[in-house]
Structure 1
């Protein structure tokens, strides 16, 4: 990881820890997201909250993706309140990274008194079990 990415991630994680220590567990994830925006702005970081990105298929608009936060146009941040991160959370983050062109994302879990952190990179598709090769699919009977 580049030191700029590492430093930015550390700043965001530190801000998220401050938010969790102040608000404590048990709130809705949108409340943590809003508090994190305040904390990051107070630390001088540029934030895009709920920025919409168009998704196209063969030049046709098919919908939009809306990541929670983009920090300094360089890091996607998704606040969660879940028992544990799962493959759906990772797949969603990979979608955000793909559509935004940003290489790194942070999943932050505010459910417990210890902040849950999962760093996701655009290069993790194989780790999550996602594949773009469908030629070996056993369900070719359709």
Structure 2
């Protein structure tokens, strides 16, 4: 599946989670429910992946933690906040660059309508 095909299925799963759980829970609840829905669809899902960062001559262990990686192609950052801070978009873009992945989804489940809480972030440094 391409990143776009995956994102379509991921968004459908996020809608299902939001429809069932609504707003007001902690991020972990949404993340776990979303991972469950994606696995039910037969997708490979990695959750809470801690990755090192190489900085000059040193390795910084556990420098960042990715909420979900789907099919080793799409990063999902789950939020449950009142307002999305622009730094969250930068965070996903940084994760994409560090992992050489192309597509990330920033999903804020604390949105009355989930469609307003889903943001696609593309790593434009990746050649197709």
Q: Same fold per TM (> 0.5)?
A: yes
Give the unaligned 5+ runs of structure 2: none
More divergent stretch after superposition (12-21 vs 94-103): 94-103
Deviations 1:2-53 (CA, angstroms, capped at 9, x unpaired): x822110010000000001001111001100000010000010000101121
The gaps in structure 1 that reach 5 residues or longer are: 125-142
Which aligned segments of 4 or more residues in structure 1 are displaced greater than 6 angstroms? none
Distance 2:70 2:83 in 1: 24
In the superposition, the TM-score normalised over structure 2's length comes to 0.89
1:139: which partner in 2? none
1:70 paired residue number = 69
Q: Check whether the contact 1:25–1:112 (CA below 8 A) recurs between aligned residues.
A: yes
Distance 1:123 1:30 in 2: 29
Q: Whose strand proportion is higher, 1 or 2?
A: 2
1:43 alignment counterpart:
41
Deviation of residue 65 (structure 1)? Answer: 1.2
* Aligned partner of residue 119 in structure 1, secondary structure: strand
Q: 2 CA distance for matches of 1:96 and 1:69?
A: 11
> Number of matched residues?
122
Q: CA RMSD in A?
A: 1.5
TM-score, normalised to structure 1, is 0.81
Residue 118 of structure 1: aligned partner: 119
SS at match of 1:97: helix
Q: Deviations over 1:84-129 (max 9, x none)?
A: 32221011111111111111100001002311111001129xxxxx
- Larger Rg belongs to: 1
